[in-house]
Amino acid sequence: MLIVERPRIEQALAELDLLPLMETAFIDYSAGRAIVPPVGELLLDQGEVHIKYGAIAGEAFYVIKIASGFYGNPALGLPSSNGLMLVFRQETGEPEAVLLDEGHLTDVRTAAAGAVAARALAPPDVERIGVLGTGVQARLQLRQLASLFETREVVAWGRDRQHLETYRTDMAEAGYDVLAAESPTAVAAASQLIVTTTPSSTPLLQAEDVRPGTHITAIGSDTAEKQELAADVLALADVLVGDSLEQCRTRGEISRALAAGAIMADTAVELGSLLAGEATGRTEADQVTVFDSTGVAVQDIAIATAVMDAVTTA
């Protein structure tokens, strides 16, 4: 059994084009070619742990992923994310590898999913990208969007001013010109594509904040307790998309809007169906679109399989 540590995993990721992998995974999921049981979850006093697992028909492996988020860790000099992936041979059940990625694969596949959704749903001319949050996803989402949109202008907001200044500096080194905003509302007023990346439990954006033509990729709300978008934002959306409608009924932005009675159960469509051409996305430039990302095991299977192929054929 292989034990693959993060440096080798990062080396493998540098050789991969992740967006086609994520697109195929979502299409497989929506087409019913995947087995994805409900998410296992531990909500602890200091953090949260998610257990996601599943298999895709015809793939070599099934994968069990453990990923955690402990948001006080940066004050201790530790990363907020951690975890690993266990890879098993689908044909025999034999353990093939432990990917000791420290949560990096989860972070990267989440960012790639955000880029897939933005490519499918964002307006044709994005002049400025808005970002809520200053952490890992706030960085990785921009890096994944870099190949899709020419703009390098960003307006960002974060609760901690020092973290926001550090984010500005880091992203400047990556080629982005980041303007610090005083509020989420100011971000929305200046952006056509917004990525929300916080663990907030109270809405940061209201419908009145969102300009016509905006696309929002909502990343941070992946449990039943979190919420970055007010329910009326989802009601406003001309196109509402979830990564897994089954998961979105119990966690994330769609679940909160359903509970508030702001949308109906059939309001949203699934990303894989949209990518397969079985659902309609943006048809006009002034439409508002929202993607609710809760994180699906097929993303983990896709990225783990690609890394396994890279490390075993090198």
Q: How far is CA 270 from the centre of its chain?
A: 14
Selecting among 8, 65, 109, 256, the annotated active-site residue is: 65
Rounded to 5°, angle at Cα 100 from 83 and 16: 100
For residue 120, which of 219, 23, 21 has the smallest C-alpha distance?
A: 23
Of the chain, the end-to-end C-alpha distance in Å amounts to: 17
Cβ atoms of 192 and 145 within 8 Å: the answer is: no
Q: Residue 83's CB: how many other CB atoms inside 10 A?
A: 23
Residue 226 annotated among the catalytic residues of the structure: no
- Within the chain, residue ranges assigned H as helices are 6-13, 18-30, 104-121, 136-145, 161-173, 184-190, 231-236, 245-248, 252-259, 271-275, 297-313
The strand order across the sheet containing 153-157 reads 177-180, 153-157, 129-132, 193-196, 215-218, 289-292, 239-242, 269-270
Q: How far is CA 119 from the centre of its chain?
A: 13
Backbone angles phi, psi at 255, to 5 degrees: -60, -40
Per the listing, tokens 């500005």 go with 168
Catalytic residues: 65
